[in-house]
């Protein structure tokens, strides 16, 4: 099982590194391309939005292919896009390259997750999903801080490194992944679950959680400038603490959802994330407290994706590839909106990046309240057990 899942985790590691590393490089990119930091932040917004929109479209176009073939195509586009980003000399060229990269990246996450769900037996599905998603979380623990550290001299070197990781993942998929075919699904099939209220409710929770997180995270470099003294090395250490927290949360989530109700697993981490974000200004007063804050917030956020995926698969196991693809899109819609919201708040209200924790906490609290409302509605809609004839006679 591990041998089959490892290439999928490597692919998501490549995507995760690429998705997260731009935030750590934002000040350097803004200076090099001669744009403001909020404007450079839209590289994150556009990348995430294109991923969200293109994932179901490209998934439909490649649904008839074996999963290995689909992943090879996606990784090829991903590698080319990152190389083009590294070669871009102007903001427009870099933005166009990020769009190309996002098209490939959007396919990778959903295809890798659905393949893991198909390979694993039901009783180990949660751990299989957590392992493959561990590529994304490992990227936050290692790829993100290392990429930020490498990019101290030239942010373009980091993008070349990401392209190299993508190429390594491509070779691993070509050699190590067996032929896996899943039922083909048209674009209409992929969007049809959006007509179901329960599916929409779960996707809305996912979007709100990541909208809240990325309102702050997109601008994490300038937000932590006081705590790090502007040192990119210290920022890398903080991002490492955040990433280790995300990785730990992901691992714990995989075990918890195999034993407990995924909805209950999600509640506690959302409370912790909202509190951590609300205390950002206070908690980041010193480097030591910033490290603790980053690890706690990261661990809370790391729990989110696995129970959400598990809940969606439980709704309709036969439609797992479609539902996981929609959840991936929901994540990146949240990331795109978060990056946009953080930029707008800074521009319109002259809010310092360090103060973005407050609107981020507000959105995360909204996600928590909506999640609790969804759980309550589900409980009230569930059929109540009726007493048997013998029980009625005893009464």
Which of 33-47, 103-117, 216-230 bottoms out in mean pLDDT, i.e. has the lowest?
103-117
More confident: 183 or 219: 219
Distances (CA, A) of 66 to 109, 218, 290: 15, 35, 45
Does residue 213 have a pLDDT over 60?
A: yes
Instruction: Kindly tell me the burial class for residue 155, based on how many C-beta atoms sit within 10 Å of its own C-beta (0-12, 13-18, 19 or more).
Output: buried
Q: What is the predicted pLDDT for the residue at 306? A: 86
Mean predicted confidence (pLDDT) in 53-68: 81
Q: What is the predicted pLDDT for the residue at 185? A: 65
Cβ-based neighbours of 343, under 8 Å, separated by 6 or more: 38, 39, 41, 42, 45, 218, 219
pLDDT for 3-30, tens place per residue? 777 778 888 888 888 887 887 788 889 8
C-alpha torsion 371→377→379→380, nearest 10? 160
Confirm if 253 and 265 have CB atoms less than 8 A apart.
yes
Does residue 395 have a pLDDT over 50?
A: no
pLDDT for 300-313, tens place per residue? 998 998 899 888 88
Catalogue the long-range contacts made by 156-163 (C-beta closer than 8 Å, 24 or more residues apart).
Answer: 156/86, 156/87, 157/86, 158/21, 158/25, 159/82, 159/83, 159/85, 159/86, 160/82, 160/83, 160/86, 162/14, 162/17, 162/18, 162/21, 162/82, 163/79, 163/82, 163/83, 163/86
Instruction: Identify which of 138-152, 218-232, 244-258, 263-277 has the greatest average pLDDT.
Output: 263-277
Q: What is the predicted pLDDT for the residue at 389? A: 47
Which of 88-92, 111-115, 368-372 bottoms out in mean pLDDT, i.e. has the lowest?
111-115
pTM: 0.79
Q: What is the predicted pLDDT for the residue at 387? A: 53
Does residue 321 have a pLDDT over 90?
A: no
Q: What's the topology of domain 2-380?
A: Growth Hormone; Chain: A; (1.20.1250)
Q: How confident is the model at residue 184 (pLDDT cuts 50, 70, 90)?
A: low
Q: What is the predicted pLDDT for the residue at 143? A: 72
Q: How confident is the model at residue 323 (pLDDT cuts 50, 70, 90)?
A: confident
Q: What is the predicted pLDDT for the residue at 80? A: 96
Mean pLDDT of the chain: 84
pLDDT for 337-389, tens place per residue? 998 899 899 988 888 898 999 999 999 999 999 999 988 887 766 555 555 44
Does residue 229 have a pLDDT over 70?
A: yes
Distance of CA 283 to the CA centre of its chain: 24
């Amino acid at each position: 099982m591990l041998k089959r899942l490892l290439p999928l985790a490597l692919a998501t590691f490549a995507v995760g590194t690429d998705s997260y590393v731009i935030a750590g490089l934002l000040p350097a990119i803004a200076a090099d391309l001669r744009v403001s930091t909020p404007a450079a932040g839209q590289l994150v917004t556009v990348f995430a939005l294109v991923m969200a929109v293109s994932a179901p479209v490209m998934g439909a176009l490649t649904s008839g292919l074996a999963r290995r073939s689909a992943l090879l195509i996606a990784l090829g586009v991903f590698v080319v896009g990152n190389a083009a980003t590294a070669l871009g000399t102007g903001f427009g060229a870099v933005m166009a390259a990020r769009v190309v990269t996002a098209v490939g990246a959007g396919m990778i996450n959903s295809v890798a997750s659905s393949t893991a769900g198909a390979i694993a037996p039901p009783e180990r599905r949660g751990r299989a999903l957590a392992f493959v998603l561990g590529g994304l979380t490992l990227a936050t623990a290692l790829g993100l801080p290392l990429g930020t550290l490498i990019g101290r001299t030239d942010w373009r070197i980091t993008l070349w490194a990401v392209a190299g990781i993508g190429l390594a993942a491509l070779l691993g998929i070509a050699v190590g992944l067996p032929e896996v075919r899943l039922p083909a699904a048209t674009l209409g099939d992929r969007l049809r679950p959006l007509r179901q209220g329960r599916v929409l409710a779960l996707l809305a929770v996912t979007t709100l959680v990541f909208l809240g997180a990325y309102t702050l995270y997109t601008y994490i470099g300038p937000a932590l400038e006081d705590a790090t003294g502007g040192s990119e090395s210290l920022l890398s250490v903080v991002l490492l603490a955040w990433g280790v927290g995300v990785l730990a949360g992901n691992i714990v989530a995989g075990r918890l959802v195999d034993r407990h109700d995924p909805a209950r697993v999600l509640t506690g981490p959302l409370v912790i994330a909202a509190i951590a974000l609300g205390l950002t200004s206070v908690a980041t007063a010193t480097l030591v407290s910033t490290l603790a804050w980053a690890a706690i917030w990261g661990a809370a956020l790391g729990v989110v994706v696995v129970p959400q995926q598990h809940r969606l698969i439980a709704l309709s196991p036969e439609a797992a590839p479609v539902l996981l693809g929609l959840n991936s899109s929901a994540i990146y819609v949240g990331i795109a909106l978060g990056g946009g919201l953080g930029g707008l708040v800074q521009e319109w209200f002259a809010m310092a990046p360090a103060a973005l924790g407050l609107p981020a906490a507000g959105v995360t609290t909204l996600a928590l309240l909506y999640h609790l409302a969804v759980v309550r509605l589900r409980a009230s809609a569930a059929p109540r057990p009726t007493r048997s004839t013998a029980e009625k006679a005893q009464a």
